[in-house]
Amino acid sequence: MAHITDLDAYRRQIRAWLAQATVPEVPLDLEGRFTVLRAWQKTLYEAGFVGISWSKAVGGQGLTPLHQLVFSEELARAGAPQPIGLIGVDVVGKSIETYGREWQREQLLPRLLSGDDIWCQGFSEPESGSDLASLRTRARIEGDEFVINGQKVWTSWAHKAQWCALLARTDADAPKHRGISYILVDMSTPGVTARPLVQMTGDDEFCEVFFEDVRVPVGNLVGKLHEGWAIAQDTLSHERGSYTLRRRVEYEVAVEEAVRDLRDHVDETGTEPSDWVLEQLGRSYTAVRSLEALTRRTIERQLAGDIPSPLDSVDKLSLNEVEQLVYTSITNVLGPFRLAADGVAFGLDGPRWVKDHYYSRAASIYGGTSQIQKNIIGERLLGLPRG
């Protein structure tokens, strides 16, 4: 009971802080959004709300994933945005905390948490997306440096990032899951080029990144040489688990907003929604509730140290399906108004929901495709034969 009381007290603390904080309005354009959310991350960090479940030794709060979930819930319900540096905070940073060298933890992680440094994740390649272990980017050792050559793609925020957590092949003769190393690359290093890719949303958040004779100190290696695959699996487990926890709360709040806007529209016009409209919202609500039940189990696994695990793929696959179902169902309610630049139907803001719908199409690709998650579930959880 004391643990529950502690969480309740923490929730009250967050609500009190949010009530007096200046919550930023986030513009739709990517450049404006990045600037606002980076400043917001600094504000959250200074208030002690970034790195909640991180150790105090690296600038975190030393609390539990349950405290992080409580904060995510209160942040979303207050209509406040998430910080911009979630690739660092939720994904690569935890792997650096676990496997990194002392200087990496002491010098890089506090700046990662505060948003002073933005991180990107150099994993996927043009011909090695789903089959990540077949990556072709090479890093050879010359003296006390790695010399890196290769290309990455779908690298979120690479054109804004100061650091990249890079997977590169350091032993060309080893089997593909071996001979890979996990290297931290300063994005200002000569030979690094990031080129933004315009998405169907109109944003250029994703990038392709080229490495041409990029020289990086050997001391930037995370873990041991040639043993980066295990660290990559740790990183992906955080991406699939922690990211799912945050996104589930956002989906829940999105459905609540749609229901509220629809209810306001009914009160103003006296026009009752059709059974079909109610069905779309009902499907969204049911999907979010099922994902909530799953993420409660994920929290239990995190508290027990059961990560990485094939169950992370269950989380990611569920995230893919729920994200697309929620935003597709709500956008369906707009009907033909989704095509109008300022379309509104049943009180729903067309441009907002259409953009979220477009972004949700990427859910079945980012962080590991749905097909790969199904393969992992089939082989490692169900014991089915490969192929």
- Active-site positions read 239
CA distance 13 to 7: 10
What secondary structure does DSSP assign to 131-197, as a single string? SGGG---EEEEETTEEEEEEEE-S-TTTTT-SEEEEEEES-TTS-TTSSEEEEEEETTSTTEEEEEE
Place of tokens 């953009």: 355
CA distance 193 to 159: 8
Structure token pair of residue 152: 């990455």
Q: Give the number of other Cβ atoms within 10 Å of residue 276's Cβ.
A: 9
CA distance 51 to 46: 11
Kindly give, in sequence order, each residue whose CB lies less than 8 Å from that of residue 134, ignoring residues fewer than 6 positions away: 127, 128, 176
CA distance 366 to 144: 34
Q: Where are the alpha helices (DSSP H) in the chain?
A: 2-20, 30-46, 65-77, 86, 93-99, 102-103, 109-114, 228-269, 275-304, 311-334, 350-360, 370-376
The backbone torsions φ and ψ at residue 333, rounded to the nearest 5 degrees and listed phi first, read: -60, -30
Kindly give, in sequence order, each residue whose CB lies less than 8 Å from that of residue 310, ignoring residues fewer than 6 positions away: 376, 377, 380, 381
How many Å is the maximal CA-CA distance in the chain? 76
- Cβ atoms of residues 123 and 372 within 8 Å: no
Kindly give, in sequence order, each residue whose CB lies less than 8 Å from that of residue 153, ignoring residues fewer than 6 positions away: 124, 125, 126, 129, 197, 206, 207, 208, 209
